[in-house]
Structure 1
């Protein structure tokens, strides 16, 4: 299917969305007109008129949602050619090799992703200003050659006119999604059952249309990904492109892990790492724990994340690239991609300012260093009187905190402390060694957290060791543990961060890699 045919089909899909609402409104209007001219003016007719107005309200609101709400846009730091010449030289050189126009903007984000967008005119038929979105974790975790592969893939979407055409279908998806969410909210607002039924029916109608749009456009979307992969392999080399794709799951899981257990561990108390370290520490964690990421590079997902995923399975993409003929480009660009940035420490600090939302107090406090951050955060958690160990310390000694715990250990009163921990009825009723055997796992778990905290807080000389083990007492209990108990490469859904919504990275209309 040619570009013109795909554009025409996307135009029809785009027009179909408001057409549904207009047809339904027209039918409601005809029904009201017929009722008004029929001579029936009883209570039943009044109820029908009210019902039609109630049904028309979400339809009108749905039509109003056709336009993208103002204020939506990406969050990040713009890399200008003057301040960051080397990334721009790379992007422009790749664009020339790809035979396409380079983007007008390059924006550094906090996503483990790269993406492109284009503000095309006349429904995507006339080119417009382009933008490239580049995630900082990619610069921290990829080599220069691998980054070339990622950028070449994104520029491949430009050269195939995918960004202009995908803009049409992405608009349809956004419109349908906003309207369905609105209708579902309306159907659950506690109004009459009849109104709820009507709103649910409308939501199902738009959901069905959205499903149709996805099914019609998915084949093209997946074809575009394979085509962009082939171009990336030609421009950056087969090995670099395939290894970059293999690296993405490892970077995604490790970055979520890092935010959850390190960077955001103190945010519930308004505490952040030293300036520039919110994202800067991620590079050190990668250096310290490379071996734990090996299996994520070899065991790639071979199934779609959902039936409507616009990207083919990662394993299939890598397999197609690695089946290409050997090109002899295995020794290129081994330096870290972060080295392309001038004064990266300033960029890291600027990205914090761009994407971190202010805490309720209005300002962040900064830890002196990483051990200080982890110690202060975990001290506060150990002193949390709602936690099992602090409650036990309060009952046994009258105070909670690390000094009190050390005093109990020195006095040899751990088993006295253990009797205050929340145990089963059987353990509480047991005596002697049987009771100790039942309480031992619970006591060990609580002490493990406290001793790990003490290890992390032993001083600046222990800072490097902190990257090899997750700090105890963090919000990481929301990550399902693996065989080793300390999960860096958890598969499946990404763990929820300590402070959901703290980092703003949304960029509507972007095409992810």
Structure 2
């Protein structure tokens, strides 16, 4: 069936070429030659190119640290035993990776009909969180996928074929002329192969149970998704915010281990929630079916505790630091301890929130309002309340007062942090707390309430001065707030000029495009800019200037706060229109060679849809 899919793909190219030749046959020789070249290129050539693009298989290799046999003999001994239990040869290599999973990778050739050497990719979080029996179970299960004993002589080919089509079919463009027939064949392949794939997965579960014990095999099925969910939480709440500031913690995996120890309740909640349904091309049967099959061979009684899986490698913490160097390379980022990392992340979040509010106040006041000093000046003049009422015109009076106090407290906290009299005290299990530099309690709510009243704003200033707060202090340029990048597109037209575009959390960054002959460089340039970060004012972060060719020259930042209305149309090519509050417009239009960074089009659509709903 897999060979049939590939044959059908190329057969339709041959059929179209034959039809073109039959059309040209009645024509005189010279005329046929004049018509043949453009016709073959336009019809058969287009279909050939669409087929080549559809069938091209990439082999992504996760960043990791290869572990030779002599460096981890216990780990390799376990892998050899698992391979023997599964009836396959040991993998060509073992690589420790950052993800909380284990898989056997293999380069697919000839669309999956043939495969290259196999490599075991084992997640470091598994070695940190699990005991040895669970790791033995997951390794045996993954290796068993390549065993002819589980699905017959062609079992490994069938699995490679399903994996290959699972990569190929979703990448076929909707309007591709090669698409309809290939998708129809793929649906038939999936319908025929699904029962066989499910049986193969259940057989691999039995191999894991026989090798590591039924309790361990079942635990892997329950704990694997929970551990992946915890790692996602770790990246979103602990690692991601500080990474956006241009810093990197000195021990990423050590931090994950602390989260694992501190948030046991979250792990239990992740384990208890309903599993996601298998994907369209997922070869696994439903989790309940797999657990039920294992329960039939699981003896009664509790599971015996096993040795920590980390003992399979000589130096787990050293392996974590080596893996961090390749999975989370510092590059031009500054390596700091976790406390400073968390503090910079919270500070950047506060600055982004304050920046959006200050922009709104500046528009309403008709004059720049850049921080706590200007806000207290407006309060002393009695203008702050009126400006706030115009900004929050849809709120009742008591809620407007609450918003003013919240904003003032935020700005005073920023001033205290910038003055060095306050810091964030982080907790691995709870919320962070703003405290004085010596760790004592810091009172800012009372001066924030007093600062909102013209009669008491002077007292608030005196109070803050006694604490050592400089209301005019600003953030250092090195750790200035950076804005999360949601996506990007290379090679769009902006107001008729060719540009590259980044979609930020707070606006659009428009960068003059490189010439079309350097299109491949443009994607790398925009990827670097997104990775190095963009500040709240749209300027590239300090680290970006070392890696980009004049990144800020001619760039333009369009804050979403300055957009009065937005619309999206699709008539052939996609286009978006932003109408600004100052009367200007920004027109964005896709081109034939536009290319997105991951999530670029979706991010732009979502941003315009949000602006359309809220304006």
| Fold conserved between structures, TM > 0.5 | yes
Matched, 1:468 2:437: no
The answer on whether the counterparts of 2:388 and 2:400 sit within 8 Å (CA) in structure 1 is: no
Taking the TM superposition and a 5 Å limit, the aligned residue runs for 1:360-371 are: 362-367=331-336, 369-371=337-339
Matched, 1:376 2:352: no
Task: Report the equivalent of 1:4.
Answer: none
Residues 128 and 312 (structure 1 numbering): CA distance in 2 closer, same or farther, change over 3 Å?
Answer: same
Q: TM-score, normalised by structure 2?
A: 0.59
How far has the Cα of 1:283 moved from its partner?
1.1
The answer on whether the counterparts of 1:58 and 1:183 sit within 8 Å (CA) in structure 2 is: no
Task: Report the equivalent of 1:79.
Answer: 67
Residues 365 and 389 (structure 1 numbering): CA distance in 2 closer, same or farther, change over 3 Å?
Answer: same
**C-alpha deviations, 1:173-217, integer Å up to 9, x for none?**
536854773655xx5xxxxxxxxxxx3x42222222222222222
Task: Report the equivalent of 1:212.
Answer: 188
Matched, 1:154 2:159: no
User: Which protein, 1 or 2, shows the higher relative CO under an 8 Å CA cutoff with sep ≥ 6?
Assistant: 1
What CA distance in whole angstroms lies between the structure 2 residues aligned with 1:453 and 1:371?
Answer: 20
Task: Report the equivalent of 2:322.
Answer: 350
Residues 238 and 447 (structure 1 numbering): CA distance in 2 closer, same or farther, change over 3 Å?
Answer: farther
The answer on whether the counterparts of 1:149 and 1:235 sit within 8 Å (CA) in structure 2 is: yes
What CA distance in whole angstroms lies between the structure 1 residues aligned with 2:81 and 2:423?
Answer: 44
What CA distance in whole angstroms lies between the structure 2 residues aligned with 1:124 and 1:251?
Answer: 31
Residue among 371, 374, 395 paired with 1:400: 371
What CA distance in whole angstroms lies between the structure 1 residues aligned with 2:335 and 2:246?
Answer: 9
Residue among 224, 233, 242 paired with 1:248: 224
Q: Larger Cα Rg: Structure 1 or Structure 2?
A: 2
Q: Which moved more, 1:160-169 or 1:309-318?
A: 160-169
Task: Report the equivalent of 2:273.
Answer: 299
Q: TM-score, normalised by structure 1?
A: 0.69
Normalized per residue, the structure richer in strand is: 2
Task: Report the equivalent of 1:193.
Answer: none
Residues 68 and 332 (structure 1 numbering): CA distance in 2 closer, same or farther, change over 3 Å?
Answer: farther
Task: Report the equivalent of 2:15.
Answer: 27
What CA distance in whole angstroms lies between the structure 1 residues aligned with 2:415 and 2:102?
Answer: 36
How far has the Cα of 1:258 moved from its partner?
0.8
The answer on whether the counterparts of 1:142 and 1:244 sit within 8 Å (CA) in structure 2 is: no
The answer on whether the counterparts of 1:152 and 1:235 sit within 8 Å (CA) in structure 2 is: yes
Task: Report the equivalent of 1:282.
Answer: 256
Matched, 1:426 2:402: no
How far has the Cα of 1:290 moved from its partner?
0.5
SS of alignment partner, residue 115 of structure 1: strand
Q: Which moved more, 1:339-348 or 1:60-69?
A: 60-69
**C-alpha deviations, 1:302-336, integer Å up to 9, x for none?**
x6333442111223222322232416571131x43
Task: Report the equivalent of 1:440.
Answer: 402
Give the number of equivalent residue pairs.
435
Quote the RMSD (CA, aligned, Å).
4.7
What CA distance in whole angstroms lies between the structure 1 residues aligned with 2:51 and 2:359?
Answer: 56
Unaligned runs of 5+ residues in structure 1 are 1-12, 188-198, 428-433, 479-498, 503-513
The answer on whether the counterparts of 2:133 and 2:216 sit within 8 Å (CA) in structure 1 is: yes
Residues 450 and 168 (structure 1 numbering): CA distance in 2 closer, same or farther, change over 3 Å?
Answer: farther
What CA distance in whole angstroms lies between the structure 1 residues aligned with 2:166 and 2:60?
Answer: 17
Unaligned runs of 5+ residues in structure 2 are 435-480, 487-528, 533-615
The answer on whether the counterparts of 2:55 and 2:111 sit within 8 Å (CA) in structure 1 is: no
SS of alignment partner, residue 103 of structure 2: strand
The answer on whether the counterparts of 2:85 and 2:207 sit within 8 Å (CA) in structure 1 is: no
